[in-house]
Amino acid sequence: MQKTFHGSCHCGAVQFECELDLAASDTSRCNCSICRRQRYWKSLVKAETVRVKQGKDALTDYQFGSHTIHHLFCKTCGVKPFGRAHLDINFGGHEMKGEYYAINLTCLDATDEELAAANVRFEDGRTNDYMSAPAVTSYL
């Protein structure tokens, strides 16, 4: 069921809300260079479902590689509550065009039960094969 989730960085300087159905969402964990280091757990949502309520000025932007994704971090605590990108891809049978946010699920004020109900898909970003899981996923 679609629900409004509230979320924040660790220090609370950045606060946001988004519309998400955790049980029906396709969430993912990836082994690419940045996700692996952060143990980032994301769900992609359309930009219009995300509202930054506080702290836009507290965010700093980091880009690398193709400079497609804006990795947004709190300047104070260093937590990445979300990333943002303009997509034009077919991802797992889903056409994704337009502005999307990659919500860091661990930044949501969701219950343990809500997080446990989320379907987790693993991505082999290290080899740019985002549709396949890496051979080992236990560390992700």
Reported as a single tens digit per residue, the pLDDT across 48-105 is 999 999 999 999 999 998 898 999 999 999 999 999 999 888 766 778 889 999 999 9
Chain-centroid distance, C-alpha 16: 13
Nearest Cα to Cα of residue 34 among 101, 90, 83, 107: 83
Task: Round to whole Å and give the CA distance between 94 and 79.
Answer: 29
* pTM of this structure: 0.90
User: In the predicted model, is pLDDT for residue 119 greater than 70?
Assistant: yes
The CATH number that domain 3-120 falls under is 2.170.150.70
Could you tell me if 139 and 41 are in contact, meaning their C-beta atoms sit under 8 angstroms apart? no
CB atoms within 10 A of CB 122: 16
Domains of the chain by residue range: 3-120
